[in-house]
Structure 1
Amino acid sequence: MRHLLSPLLVTILLGVASAAQATVTNYTTTLSGAKEAPPNTSPGTGTVAVLIDDVANTMKLNVSFSGLVGTTTTAHIHCCTPEPLSGTASVATMLPVFSMFPLGVVTGTYNMTFDLLSASTYNPAFISASGGTPALAEADLLAGLIAGTAYFNLHSTAYPAGEIRGFLVAAPIPEPGHLAMWVAGLAGLAGVRRWRRR
């Protein structure tokens, strides 16, 4: 019985650890006036992290900015430029601005999660250009992020076309739930080894 139970326990633990392996990808950028098209001399700076969960179909957006010349009027993700890390593109995300984004300020932070399968997450023109459905818009946005042809743009009263921006670049990160399952699986294997030694 002991020899049958150990392989069974190992199989169960490894099965649980490998189930629901969401790929969470972190796209990041730093924002500056020098990265605008055309570049400007704004002293404003910022950072953006966009976390995409391909199983939950969510986009978590974390933004921090400061030192703007004008006050914020809108903020978007634009996609997709003809060439990676250069050029301009139409607005891909919701209009006129991300919901609850801090407006009328020169410094701020923003944290929000969006449903990538909801039409309200996108500019209607981006949905139409992508084939007419939120799922196709999601596919185009993700392809743009992967290709480096999507950027975050923060517009202000001083620079209506965009005061600071940055192209989003991917860096995979481990999904926390998946990592926790692997830790639990390894702990279970250690327990099985101790049990077999007895």
Structure 2
Amino acid sequence: MNQRIRNCTAAAALLLTAITASATNYTAILTGPQESPPNTSPAIGAAVVKFDTASHILEVDVAFSGLILPSTLSHIHCCTTTPGAGVAGVATEVPTFGGFPMGVTSGAYTNTYNTSLTASWNPAFLTSHGGTTAGAEAAFAAGLNAGEAYLNIHSERYPGGEIRGFLAAAPVPEPATIAMLGLGLPAVLLMARRRRKM
């Protein structure tokens, strides 16, 4: 087996490991009509949140555009009593995500949090879930999985939130798809090698 095939096989193994890791991705489209109460803001945003309770990592990626007035706050709220509806207290750090772009009508944000640290959580959220980061992580994961957590962006025009979106688990490849990738990739590599020799 030549080095190229070994490298491709190693890359496929890493891909399969990444696909089956314990982190879960959640996505949301943020709009004014999804706020509570709904508003007519033309702004839009998108969020991808990755949460891995095993490694205590919360990754937050947000992009937004078109706020009526400049941004003032952003965070994740959890947990509403009804999936996809209602309001809840802030779960993540307060008053806002550290480093979130403030005073702008459009922007992008990326940050990673260690959820085993109390600074990653709203103290009220910690207290209401046993006073420990483990309790906060468990409640947050349950809220995300149940569709009871939302990310929103507040602005000078809408201090209670201009745009928001409930976070929903992103589709995960089925085990059969992963198995086919694992079995099929070496066969494709072998065929490509044979064609080059001809």
Q: Distance in 1 between matches of 2:138 and 2:52?
A: 13
Which residue number in structure 2 is paired with residue 126 of structure 1? 125
Partner of 1:3: none
Residue 97 (str. 1) matches residue 96 (str. 2)? yes
Matched-pair contact (CA < 8 Å) for 1:29–1:167? yes
| Aligned partners of 1:25 and 1:172 also within 8 Å | no
Q: What TM-score do you get using the length of structure 2 for normalisation?
A: 0.78
User: 1:155-197: per-residue Cα shift (whole Å, max 9, x none)?
Assistant: 00000000000100012547xxxx8xx859x75xx99xxxxxx
Equivalent position SS for 1:69: coil
Aligned to 2:111: 112
- The alignment's C-alpha RMSD in Å is 2.5
Answer whether contact 1:22 1:54 (CA < 8 A) is retained: no
Instruction: Give the conservation status (yes or no) of the 8 Å contact 1:24–1:172.
Output: no
Q: Is the contact made by 1:64 and 1:108 (CA closer than 8 Å) also made in structure 2?
A: yes
* Cα shift at 1:153: 1.1
SS at match of 1:35: coil
Indicate the percent of aligned positions where both proteins have the same amino acid.
Answer: 48
Q: Which amino acid aligns with 1:153?
A: N
For each residue in 1:21-77, what CA deviation from the matched residue of structure 2 results, as whole angstroms up to 9, or x when unmatched? 532211000000000000001100000000112321211111000000010100010
Tell me the number of residue pairs that the alignment of Structure 1 and Structure 2 aligns: 169
- The structure with the larger Rg is 1
Distance 1:91 1:59 in 2: 15
Check the 8 A contact 1:151/1:167 in 2, yes or no: yes
Task: Please show how residues 1-198 of structure 1 align to structure 2 within 5 Å.
Answer: 22-173=21-172, 187=186
What residue ranges of structure 1 are gaps of 5+ in the alignment?
Answer: 1-13, 192-198
CA distance in 1, matches of 2:47, 2:100: 13
Paired residue type of 1:159:
Y
**SS class of match (1:140):** helix
Amino acid at match of 2:105: V
List gaps (5 residues or longer) in structure 2: 1-12, 191-198
